[in-house]
Structure 1
Amino acid sequence: MTTLPTVEWQAGGKPALTFPEGDAPAGLQVQVLEEGNGPVVEAGRTIVVDYLGQTWGGGVFDNSYDRGTTIDFPIGVGAVIGGWDKGLVGRNVGDKVLLSIPAEHGYGSRGVPQAGIPGGATLVFVVEVKGVQ
């Protein structure tokens, strides 16, 4: 079994990741940390989330917790990176999900250098599904 980072919830509800030794697992990895019981997230709907993202073994590059507001976007239609579309469609509102997203489902060989994401980076997100519209 592939070893994924562990998640600890800090005071105030912000997640923190601890990475295992070694390289990132191959392929898209989706681990439900906590099951929600809300409506199912369907492709084409707008999803509302809180999230934290960092590169495998690297630093946090973005998170909604520090901004104090959720984000919303269309899911399953190519509006976000493929790992989010593939990993979040079919989840339930209330789910807390850990995503390990290889470069081919993230930002590819280009990366996003201005955001601190090198080319070829595996991305790791903790996503709390807050709602669907």
Structure 2
Amino acid sequence: MKLKLSLAAAMFAVASLSACGGGGNDTPTPSVYSPAALSKTDISVGTGAEAVAAKTVKVHYTGWLYNTNMANFKGTQFDSSAGKAPFTFTIGTNQVIPGFEQGVLGMRVGGKRTVVIPSSLGYGANGNSVVPPNSGLVFEMELVEVL
């Protein structure tokens, strides 16, 4: 009888630990979202030079993790050029993620645009130090200059 009671208590303890995950890491896994396709929405259309392939551009931007539960899909902000010099890169030279480059194409100096980028055109399955793997991104950008 004593063996049955000890065995029953041991089984109960194992079942309890199994139900709560065994007491491992209790850090929640962040939710990851990604839109199906790239989208570009002009907030204001500029009147200056157009951003085209092989041109060097200067852009002010702010980037957020894409989140379907947030207004305008803007989750956690992960980067910004606010208060800094504009970010400079040459279109078509793979200096930035493909979605950022595609988002700038066709803009005119003075224009502002919101670009929603799927993971496949962002940091992909690897992510980076601040962007989790498979995360979509949202950027607000302003084209400052085309060189």
The normalised TM-score by structure 2 is 0.69
Query: What letter corresponds to residue 56 of structure 2 in structure 1?
Result: T
Alpha-carbon distance in 2 for matches of 1:50, 1:130 = 7
2:145 corresponds to 1:131: yes
- Measured against aligned partners, the alpha-carbon deviations of 1:29-76 in whole angstroms (never above 9, x if no partner) come to 1111111000111111111011000101331110000x4321111113
2:49 corresponds to 1:39: yes
> Could you tell me how far 1:88 is from its partner in structure 2?
1.2
Structure number with higher helix proportion: 2
- Measured against aligned partners, the alpha-carbon deviations of 1:96-123 in whole angstroms (never above 9, x if no partner) come to 01010001100000001x2x21000001
Report if the CA contact (8 A) 1:43-1:77 is conserved: no
Specify the alignment match of 1:102 in structure 2. 118
For 1:1-133, what aligned pairs fall within 5 Å after superposition?
A: 24-57=34-67, 58-65=75-82, 67-112=83-128, 114=129, 116-133=130-147
Segments of structure 2 that go 5 or more residues without pairing to the other structure are 1-32, 68-74
Query: What letter corresponds to residue 29 of structure 1 in structure 2?
Result: S
RMSD across aligned C-alpha pairs, in angstroms? 1.3
User: Runs (4+) of structure 1 moved beyond 6 Å?
Assistant: none
> Could you tell me how far 1:77 is from its partner in structure 2?
2.7
The normalised TM-score by structure 1 is 0.76
- Larger-gyration structure (1/2): 2
Alignment size in residue pairs = 108
Structure number with higher strand proportion: 1
Alpha-carbon distance in 1 for matches of 2:120, 2:60 = 23
SS in 1 for 2:139: strand
Segments of structure 1 that go 5 or more residues without pairing to the other structure are 1-22
